[in-house]
Structure 1
Amino acid sequence: MVHVSSGDDSKEKGKHRMIIDATAGAIAGCIARVITGPLDVIKIRFQVQLEPIMGASAQAQAGLRSKYTGFRQALTTIVREEGVPGLWRGTVPGLLLTVPYTAVQFVALQQVRQAAAAYGLTGMYSNPGSSPLISLASGALAGAAATVASYPFDLLRTTLAAQGEPKVYRNMWDAARGIVSQRGPVGLYSGLGVTLIEIMPYAALQFGLYDALNALVDEARIRYQRDSSRVQAFACGLLAGLFAKLATHPLDVAKKRYQVAGLRRSLRYGARVDAGFAMRTLAQSLSYIYRTEGLMGLWKGSVPSIVKAAPSAAITFAAYDAVLAWLLVVSGEHIREQQQQQRQSPKQSSR
């Protein structure tokens, strides 16, 4: 006997699925955050360094001294001066950022796609990669919603990761109090507008590419009758994260400058980002970085950023798929979804 859900029952199941999506997203994000934390710290140090990233000979010719001159040099310098824990600076606010960000992101993603399916824009159970516009739009909206929900933790994470030694702020709460006392509560949202401009194309590309790559892999698996499902999510997430980050990196550099504008860290890390930087528009900021630091200034930290973004996206997607599948089995949702899929697509199920 098939149970026909009432309106209230459907709403309850919808809430239950949202909780499952949020839980899977939060767990996946935390796993990726802890594993890739050191790469994030190195990336931030490069992005907020005003001096050029160059070799020793070039420095001597230009009369400039750069704190960090390369990926390996930055890694060894941070460990030597701040110890191994220095590579995980900002991990607590980073995790507090990750939980609401990935939870809201994956919930919003599923809700947008379900809404698109309800309006007949795509099949709820078809591969989202078959609808590129829906993939891009749902990714962009999910990224925007997640950013608004978690932004203060992003700013605090960046501040703590950038400050170096001696510490400007002892911990996350000290940093929050200091920023609020200097710039008011709005200071916790410094750079939010730029972040939304950055995150929407980034998330759109990330999820759009992920869906498109999955569709291509699915087609290849059917054609060549090969089972690569175990590595598919990881590989597709890896490539999607790499290309999305590469395309939007200059916006991330500008965002980090907004977030640490006025931070009075030790001058041994180089010139500080002036508080007035936060008053510039995004176009002015990008133009200023280009004029004063050259084209490479817009790509500072791109190596650790890409090295981090690719595995982070891969781990997040793979962990999300694995945790979601487990939670659906535990809750029995997978059985209901299969039954509903058979009702929605009887021809496909009979093949």
Structure 2
Amino acid sequence: MVGLLGNKVNLSPSEAIISGALSGVTTRAVISPFDVVKIRLQLHVGKKQGGRNTGLVNAVSTIFREEGVRAFWKGHTASQLLSVVYGAVQFGMFTKVSHVIEELYPGRSPDTQPLVSFVSGGVAGTAGSFFSQPLDLVRTRMVMQRHQLTYTSTGEAFLSILQKEGFRGFYRGLIPNLLQVVPSASLQFGAYSSCILLYTKVQAIEKERLSNKESFLFGAVSGVFAKCAVLPFDVTKKRLQVQGFRKVIQEGGLESVPVYKGLVHCVTTVYKHEGILGFYKGALPSLLKAFVSTGTTFMTFNFFSGLVTASRTYRNGLS
């Protein structure tokens, strides 16, 4: 039966890091427009906001009309760095934790694979999120810029935040980010492994690895499932990340975004003024992004890990 990530040949942590980094680069280039639209929608508080970004179609047309097609890749350098770091750390840590569990429980049943993936995914998500948080914050702020640019480059953004807000400024929204990422990563990997387990049982065929099409489908399903569960944390995280960025908030037509004193104040304020639906702003582009991004992530990881293992086999054959 295929393993935890659909590959019968076990990857080493270093091979998983390489495959994860390459997967992150590829996925980010594809899903950047979804991310830009999602962030813009999540940061709107009022129902009208001057006609800007009040719905998916309106947001896309407004961004295209006022800022051009390149706006859908705003903050792309920071986003690519974020994806490389997160992808490498996440898949590397997932593989390492999975190997440790395998060593501790060598005779475990194949039916426990989803549980192992759930636990390993949570640890991997925590590590990936912590190391990539500064890049996530810079990416969010650069996406919010419209015509009046506070940051002209990723490097300038890092220096400015460090000088004006200190090192702690990079970790604004870390708690809601972890509250979002940990269950999301656990559910993604657990659901992905469940799909593999169910599929192999139904097919009753021994496969060396999943096809790229199968990886995309299982990844897309697991991504949507996980996103539905954690979207409120994503909205809260984005609201906290743009605090201290009031000039760009106002220039972007988001004058009514409150000043939040912290996580609890943010949650209670959103609920009081926007209701429960306020935590699901940007739901449609978020779910579309989850479908495309998670499917692409697992598909490209499956592809690159296949190249890595093939390279390893070739090198071993020469030695």
TM-score normalised by the chain length of structure 1:
0.81
**How do residues 135-284 of structure 1 correspond to structure 2 at under 5 angstroms?**
135-222=117-204, 229-263=211-245, 264-265=247-248, 266-271=250-255, 273-274=257-258, 276-277=259-260, 279-281=261-263, 283-284=264-265
CA distance in 1, matches of 2:57, 2:121: 34
Q: Secondary structure at the match of 2:148?
A: coil
- TM-fit CA distance, 1:29: 1.1
Cα distance change on mapping 1:334 and 1:316 into 2, 3 Å: farther
Runs of 4 or more, structure 1, over 6 Å off, are 333-336
- TM-fit CA distance, 1:169: 1.5
1:36/1:308 contact within 8 Å kept: yes
CA distance in 2, matches of 1:302, 1:165: 26
- TM-fit CA distance, 1:70: 1.4
CA distance in 2, matches of 1:251, 1:298: 8
2:148/2:251 contact within 8 Å kept: no
Q: Which amino acid aligns with 1:46?
A: L
Indicate whether 1:319 and 2:304 are aligned.
no
1:89/1:160 contact within 8 Å kept: yes
- TM-fit CA distance, 1:49: 1.3
Query: Which one of 38, 50, 70 corresponds to residue 43 of structure 1?
Result: 38
CA distance in 2, matches of 1:87, 1:65: 21
**How do residues 10-25 of structure 1 correspond to structure 2 at under 5 angstroms?**
17-25=12-20
1:24/1:103 contact within 8 Å kept: yes
CA distance in 2, matches of 1:241, 1:151: 20
CA distance in 2, matches of 1:133, 1:244: 15
* 1:9-62, Cα deviation, whole Å (9 max, x unpaired): xxxxx9x9322111110111111110010000000001111222xxxxxx5xxx
TM-score normalised by the chain length of structure 2:
0.89
CA distance in 1, matches of 2:90, 2:252: 38
- TM-fit CA distance, 1:76: 1.3
Q: Secondary structure at the match of 2:45?
A: coil
Q: Secondary structure at the match of 2:50?
A: coil
CA distance in 1, matches of 2:106, 2:91: 19
* 1:232-284, Cα deviation, whole Å (9 max, x unpaired): 1111000000010111000000000111112121445222544x41x323x43
Q: Which amino acid aligns with 1:90?
A: G
CA distance in 1, matches of 2:314, 2:229: 37
Specify the alignment match of 1:78 in structure 2.
63
Gaps of 5+ in 1: 1-13, 53-58, 337-351
Specify the alignment match of 2:3 in structure 1.
none
1:250/1:299 contact within 8 Å kept: yes
1:20/1:327 contact within 8 Å kept: yes
2:86/2:131 contact within 8 Å kept: yes
Q: Which moved more, 1:240-249 or 1:187-196?
A: 187-196
Q: Secondary structure at the match of 1:131?
A: helix
1:25/1:106 contact within 8 Å kept: yes
CA distance in 2, matches of 1:194, 1:182: 23
* 1:210-253, Cα deviation, whole Å (9 max, x unpaired): 00011111112228x9x984421111000000010111000000
Structure with higher RCO (Cα < 8 A, 6+ apart): 2
Indicate whether 1:112 and 2:94 are aligned.
no
- TM-fit CA distance, 1:181: 2.5
2:270/2:278 contact within 8 Å kept: yes
* 1:175-216, Cα deviation, whole Å (9 max, x unpaired): 222222221121011111221111100100110000001111
Q: Which amino acid aligns with 1:253?
A: V
* 1:148-183, Cα deviation, whole Å (9 max, x unpaired): 111110100011011222222112122222222221
Q: Which amino acid aligns with 2:313?
A: G
- TM-fit CA distance, 1:66: 4.2
Report the RMSD for the aligned CA atoms in angstroms: 2.4
Q: Which amino acid aligns with 1:331?
A: R
1:32/1:316 contact within 8 Å kept: yes
Could you tell me the percent identity over the aligned residues? 32
Q: Secondary structure at the match of 2:204?
A: helix
Q: Which amino acid aligns with 1:150?
A: S
CA distance in 2, matches of 1:159, 1:79: 19
CA distance in 2, matches of 1:136, 1:232: 20
CA distance in 1, matches of 2:243, 2:271: 17
CA distance in 1, matches of 2:149, 2:120: 40
2:43/2:254 contact within 8 Å kept: no
Q: Secondary structure at the match of 2:12?
A: helix
2:212/2:303 contact within 8 Å kept: no
2:90/2:128 contact within 8 Å kept: yes
**How do residues 331-342 of structure 1 correspond to structure 2 at under 5 angstroms?**
331-332=312-313
